[in-house]
Amino acid sequence: QAEKENLVAVLCSNGSIRIYDKERLYVLREFSGYPGLLNGVRFASSSDSVYSSCSDGTVKCWDARLASEKPVQLFKGYPSNIFISFDINCNDHVICAGTEKVDDDALLVFWDARISSQDLSTTKDPLGAYSETHSDDVTQVCFHPYNPNKLVSGSSDGLVNVFDISVDNEEDALITTCNSISSVSCIGWSGKDYKQIYCMTHDEGFSWWDLNHLNTDEPITCLNIQDVREVVNLKEGILDYLIGGLYHEKMDKLFVVGGTNTGIIHLMSCTTSGLSHVTSLHGGHAATVRSFSWNMQDDSLLTGGEDAQLLLWKPGPIEKTFTKKDSMKIASSVSQRVRVHSNDSYKRRKK
């Protein structure tokens, strides 16, 4: 999300990016990754640039304010690269993308994202790559929220690696390796000063590590659950899958978000003793929920699902125009238009 413009970028299953107005969820513009397939999207921290990684071996940069068919910048990978994950660091200087394994190579590729007045070319080649630390597809890449040099990567090989990219070579840049024992589906930073990392796996496992304990006698592992579905105690219903995690700074708490195949969203809090159910969101999605974005300023939640719905949930009192008790939900521009007209205006038109 770009805070100042109040925009939301959504990656759709047809490989396009749609830019929405956050409050009203109107589609403002759409970008296509053709000929490649886009498979990751995020805003820069300090501008209206939207970045996406692509199966054609590029990372594309779009201007969210312009309805353009072409990206404003193109970051080219090495031959045979297929990017399946990426991130841009907190000062918008460095982009990192993870590749599918080709032959024996699974790479983390880096670019300088800064635009210099001397170089007006829209295409950039890589600064370099890490090639020794993962032995399978690099499924996740995530920079530290505040330290532009800290990076964590996750892979189908089960390894979660933490790097300091300010160090010259890959071997010395590797700070630590954590083993999730299964293919990594999601990683993130948590804890005070974001000195912890968490990881979810494709078979719904969950791990949580504390990097504060790296040079101490304390164990680095805070929590390790092989299958969350088997151990989490929900007040209602079941858990079919994990979606992701979020560290809430004000509450100093790590939350884990999961869901059911029928579209119910479960929110769980994470402690060293396990995951505990906080609440569930009903009546919104009708199918698997794939992604979410949590706004910590107003604790609103955006969710996107396989039912082609982008929903906005808000806590507290509900405006009169919305009838749902548990949520404020805007399903699409179609239902938005329906809600604009009251019964009175409908009766007047009939006359």
pLDDT digits (tens, 9 = 90+) for 319-342: 444 444 444 444 443 333 333 333
The whole-angstrom separation of Cα 315 and Cα 336 is 20
Stated as kind and residue range, the H or E segment containing 184 is strand 184-190
State the pTM of this model: 0.86
More confident residue, 104 or 144: 144
> Could you tell me the pLDDT band of residue 46, with boundaries at 50, 70 and 90?
confident
Structure tokens, 135: 């032995």
Closest by Cα among 270, 266, 304, 230 to 1: 304
344 pLDDT above the threshold of 50: no
In CATH, what is the architecture of 2-179? 7 Propeller (2.130)
Predicted pLDDT of residue 345: 36
Spacing of C-alpha 291 from chain mean position: 7
The predicted model gives 229-258 an average pLDDT of 92
Stated as kind and residue range, the H or E segment containing 339 is helix 333-340
Q: Domains of the chain: which residue ranges?
A: 2-179
